[in-house]
Homo-oligomer: A and B are copies of this chain.
C-alpha cells in the first residue's frame, strides 16, 4: 500500500478512506479464495487477484453502499467480483509481458476467477440471501461493464489507437470513448452496484451511477494527461450529483474526487 501521496497511476482518493475500504476487500478475498492443493492452481489465482494495479472501482462500490444507508458488508461480494473481473482483464491484456507463472497458467487462472466472482455474489452466505433480485441485477451491471458493450469494447478501440493509423482529430474522440467505456463505465457500475446492494432507491442508484461515471472520467483523464480544465469539468459534474445526498454524510465518498 502506498504511504505517501500516490503517483498518478495509483488510486489516490484521500488516503485513509480509500485504504480502509480497499483493505477490507483484500482481506475478504484472502479469506474466500481457497488456498489448497494443487498450489499450482490456487496460488496463482490468489496472486493474480492481487497483481493487477489497484483501481478505485471496488472501493467506490463499498462507499456507495454506505452512502445509501447500507452496511459495507452488503457490497463486499460485488466489490470482490469487480476486483476479480478487472484482475482477469488486466492479466489477459498483459499476457505477453512475461507473466510470472507462464502464460498457460495465467490464462487458465483468469478463466477461473471470473466465474468465482459471480459465485461470491450467488452464495447463500453472500448478499443473495437477503435480496436475490438485487444480486441478479448487480450481476447484469457487472457483466455489461466488463463485457463486449463495456471494457472489452474500450480495449478493442485502445488497441486500434495503439496500432496507429487514425487521424489526429479522431484520436481525441477515441481516447474519450476509451475513457467513457473503461474508467467511466467501470466506476459507474461500481457505484451503482453498491447503491443497489445497499438498498438504495432508483433515484439514489442513478445519481450514484452518474457520480461514479464522472469519478472514473476524472481519474482516467488525470492518468492520460488530459488538460486540467477537462478534469475540473468532470469533478464539477460529479459534485453536482453528490448534492442530491446533502442530508447524508458524504465525507467518505467525496474523497474519491479530491
Instruction: Given A111-B114, A111-B146, A132-B132, answer yes or no on A140-B123 (Cβ-Cβ < 8 Å).
Output: yes
- Among the 9-residue stretches A50-58, A152-160, A195-203, A207-215, the one with 4 or more Cβ atoms under 8 Å from chain B is A152-160
Contacting A153 at CB < 8 Å: which of B41, B115, B143, B146? B41
Contacting A111 at CB < 8 Å: which of B112, B128, B152, B159? B152
Do B155 and A108 touch across chains, with their CB atoms under 8 A apart?
yes
Copy total for this chain: 2
Instruction: Given A34-B149, A108-B92, A152-B108, answer yes or no on A115-B85 (Cβ-Cβ < 8 Å).
Output: yes
Q: Is A95 an interface residue (CB 8 A)?
A: yes
Do B41 and A115 touch across chains, with their CB atoms under 8 A apart?
no
| A142 to B112 CA separation, bound complex (whole angstroms) | 11
Q: Is A136 an interface residue (CB 8 A)?
A: yes
* Chain A facing B: main interface SS: helix
Q: Is A147 an interface residue (CB 8 A)?
A: yes
Do A92 and B118 touch across chains, with their CB atoms under 8 A apart?
no
Within residues 95 to 146 of chain A, which ones have a CB less than 8 A from any CB in chain B?
95, 104-105, 107-112, 114-116, 118-119, 122-124, 128, 132-133, 135-137, 139-140, 142-144, 146
What are 11 residue pairs bridging A and B, where the CB atoms are less than 8 Å apart in the complex?
Answer: A104-B159, A109-B148, A111-B147, A112-B147, A115-B143, A115-B147, A119-B147, A122-B140, A123-B140, A132-B133, A136-B136
